Structure 1
Amino acid sequence: MPARHAAFAWWGATACWFLGTLLGGRRTPVEAAVPPPVAVLVYAVCAGLWALLVYGVYRGVKGTRVALAVVGALGIVDLVVQLVGDVVTRAYGHGAFFLAALVLSGAGFVLLFRPS
């Protein structure tokens, strides 16, 4: 049952990440070179793949917990790095969504490995 609760936290984190990414604008030259519709499509594909991995945990597919733990830990590190950048650049709207994603990701991580 904790894996199902963890899935809801991860899905919420995915939604916050997607909305924060759309709100954040483009900071790097590579991001600025990509047309906005293509960028939104890439973000949507990434969020969709992540949501499918979380769905595998929700359904109890073997091996998805470990995969989610590894990729989730990397995602949490990335969220922290982006939050530091948001504080430095004073991008508070973007930072608010990423902070919510960080809190939900942390909750999902804790719930994922909590004993039943």
Structure 2
Amino acid sequence: MDVTARPAAADCRAVSEILSRVGDKWTIQVVVALRLGALRFNGLKRQVGGISQQMLTRTLKTLERDGMIERTVHPSTPPQVEYRLTPLGHSLSETVRQLADWAAAHTENIWENRLRYDTDHP
């Protein structure tokens, strides 16, 4: 196989779709919130500031469909539902943590560059 060959357009679209989904601000915040353990819906809603109930529900369903989280219903009245990361979700959380570390380490430099650019390009 020629290693210099470009991937098929369908492969690029698939990767792009996945990156778009896992790079979504709500997905990242939910994954970060679940890094330390399982949470119930309202606990997640408190951890992820500013998310609506509808958006949290949609994000959780998408993450469950993609195999990033698992949903467990505990038999009680009313039923208690908790969410936790799967091994796949934990692997994403590590990548997100590395990206956050990079952003924190370079924030000052990026702000300086923005200020310099804005000054030079009024």
| TM-score normalised by length of structure 1 | 0.30
Identify, as 1 or 2, the structure richer in strand.
2
Identify, as 1 or 2, the structure richer in helix.
1
